[in-house]
Structure 1
Amino acid sequence: MHDARVSDLARLLVQYSMEVKQGDKVLVDLFGGRDELARALIDEVFQAGGYPLVQLNHDALLRRQLLFTSEEHMDLLAKYDLARMQDMDCYVAIRGRQNINELADVPPDKMKAYTERYHRVVHNERINNTRWVVLRYPNPSMAQLAGMSTEAFEDFYFNVCTVDYQRMDQAMKPLVERMEKADHVHIKGPGTDLTFSIKGLPAIKCAGKANIPDGEVFTAPVRESVNGVLTYNTSSVYQGTTFENIRFEFQNGKIVKATANNTEKLNHILDTDEGARYIGEFSLGVNPHIHHPMLDTLFDEKINGSFHFTPGRAYEECNNGNKSAIHWDIVNIQRSDYGGGEIYFDGELIRKDGLFTVSDLEPLNPENLK
């Protein structure tokens, strides 16, 4: 039976997120077995006058390649996929993996080759030169991670993904203005006392144009300005491994000490290159329907009352000069049910226990965005 919500989501992605125009070439990148959204996207792209091109992915086959890969092999894959990406006007990724830990046993040197020589090359082109959007798609694995039944998770998913993004976009404007005027940021919470500067760096609204679900405003710290300690209170999956109790100590921008449940692998990732131990993004999450982590970055980084502080590469549109093969969004939730916390801009308290405390930012609180 056709679910009208799938068509509505496809229409949002084509008309609002990617703004597909006559003659646009649109790469539909499908991960996982469910293809109903891909089929709806093909229809919507054709209706908009574009040309859909579909790519199918299989994580178990990717794992097999990576187990035996070489730098030469990664360069070859990157050569052909980069050429295709350079010819695209738009890109949409539908990610519905059955096993988030499929790549967990890929050796670190093989994963580094994949990250540096393939993923960074191809997806930097996608990020910088296409109108792109990335989203997850519900499946039983995601429902399990969220602690929900499959049917309840699907209802949650469509509520989250089809929030009123135009309303959210308007409510974000005062936060953008405050972030672009601010210099000194101070974040306090359980196990966290962190200071840094965001002076002179732009703030970017994320309201449904690049990620679905969406709901964040991000900037970046001045690269060498970060000092103090940050303890994350959510788990995070990166390169196929689930990390918990991540704690970073910073000196002059650099992560000088990093611990977690898997400290050795955490430091392998942070030693990928010089930029991996510096921060490329600071962002505040505001999606009114996302309250708890589910080991899925696209959802977790939008949790209302959260922030994420990202080791690795800065985005081109907010470039603090940090370059890296990694970009790892790790989330801290500051609502009272997660221990609380405070964020100050230039000494002014702007958010306490996950709620904005100044009148111009109150429209971003969950009760005002639903």
Structure 2
Amino acid sequence: MPDQRLEKLAQILIHYSLEIKPGDQLEIRTTPLGQDLALMAYKEAIKAGGYVTNNLSLQGGEELFHKYASDDQLDYVSPVRKLITETFDAMLVIGAEYNTRSLSAIDPLRLSRSRKATTELTKIFLDRSANLELRWCYTEFPTYASAQEA
């Protein structure tokens, strides 16, 4: 039986925070730890008539990328990420971290380089958000890692 608290939170996120309407394109982004809430949000968005794309980050993936990526890979901007940022109506990010300090051992110059590569996407995101062309919401799903930070 689904957790009623997650159902209620999903309803608030989809219907109040993001105001998903029929035909809206929505990206839901999280980790496997946030999948229960993501599934409830997915259900609510589908019921509201939205077109939903799910994006699941793998545990340790960001750390592995920054540790082993070549300079070209650090500079690369995914055309899929760019398309979503430029065209989707709404984004829901559910923070559900395995390890809040997973990048602490990564060379800060490598982190900076990959962040610099996404500067254009950040500008597009902020401009679209400011112009009310993109609705977005970030929520935190409780995990052991986030509890340790509290």
Shift in CA distance, 57/108, structure 1 to aligned 2, threshold 3 Å: same
Shift in CA distance, 145/75, structure 1 to aligned 2, threshold 3 Å: closer
1: CA distance, partners of 2:23 / 2:80: 22
1: CA distance, partners of 2:122 / 2:138: 12
Deviations 1:91-110 (A, max 9, x none): 00011101101011111210
Number of aligned residue pairs: give it.
145
1:72 offset after TM fit, Å?
Answer: 2.6
1:142 offset after TM fit, Å?
Answer: 2.0
Alignment correspondent of 2:94: 94
Shift in CA distance, 13/37, structure 1 to aligned 2, threshold 3 Å: same
Shift in CA distance, 21/28, structure 1 to aligned 2, threshold 3 Å: same
Selected match of 1:135 from 117, 135, 139: 139
Moved over 6 A (4+): none
RMSD: 1.8
The AA in structure 1 aligned to 2:127 is: N
Identity over aligned pairs, percent: 23
Instruction: Specify every segment of 5 or more residues in structure 2 that has no aligned partner in the other structure, as ranges.
Output: 129-133
Alignment correspondent of 2:34: 34
Shift in CA distance, 35/18, structure 1 to aligned 2, threshold 3 Å: same
Q: Secondary structure at the match of 1:77?
A: coil
User: Residue 25 in 1 paired to residue 25 in 2?
Assistant: yes
1:273-288 correspondence runs (5 A):
none
Bigger CA radius of gyration: 1
Alignment correspondent of 2:104: 104
1: CA distance, partners of 2:135 / 2:115: 22
Alignment correspondent of 1:55: 55
1: CA distance, partners of 2:54 / 2:2: 21
2: CA distance, partners of 1:28 / 1:123: 17
**Bigger RCO (CA 8 Å, 6+ sep):** 2
> Residue 32 of structure 1 contacts residue 95 of structure 1 at CA under 8 Å; is this kept in 2?
no
Alignment correspondent of 2:123: 124
Deviations 1:271-299 (A, max 9, x none): xxxxxxxxxxxxxxxxxxxxxxxxxxxxx
> Residue 66 of structure 1 contacts residue 106 of structure 1 at CA under 8 Å; is this kept in 2?
yes
1:70 offset after TM fit, Å?
Answer: 4.2
Q: Secondary structure at the match of 1:28?
A: strand
> Residue 24 of structure 2 contacts residue 49 of structure 2 at CA under 8 Å; is this kept in 1?
yes
1:237-276 correspondence runs (5 A):
none
1:159-178 correspondence runs (5 A):
none
> Residue 66 of structure 2 contacts residue 111 of structure 2 at CA under 8 Å; is this kept in 1?
yes
Greater fraction strand: 1
1:111 offset after TM fit, Å?
Answer: 0.6
Deviations 1:203-238 (A, max 9, x none): xxxxxxxxxxxxxxxxxxxxxxxxxxxxxxxxxxxx
2: CA distance, partners of 1:128 / 1:18: 17
The AA in structure 1 aligned to 2:120 is: V
> Residue 30 of structure 1 contacts residue 93 of structure 1 at CA under 8 Å; is this kept in 2?
yes
2: CA distance, partners of 1:139 / 1:71: 33
The AA in structure 1 aligned to 2:3 is: D
1:145-294 correspondence runs (5 A):
145-146=149-150
Shift in CA distance, 123/31, structure 1 to aligned 2, threshold 3 Å: farther
> Residue 91 of structure 2 contacts residue 137 of structure 2 at CA under 8 Å; is this kept in 1?
yes
1: CA distance, partners of 2:145 / 2:32: 11
Alignment correspondent of 1:9: 9
Greater fraction helix: 2
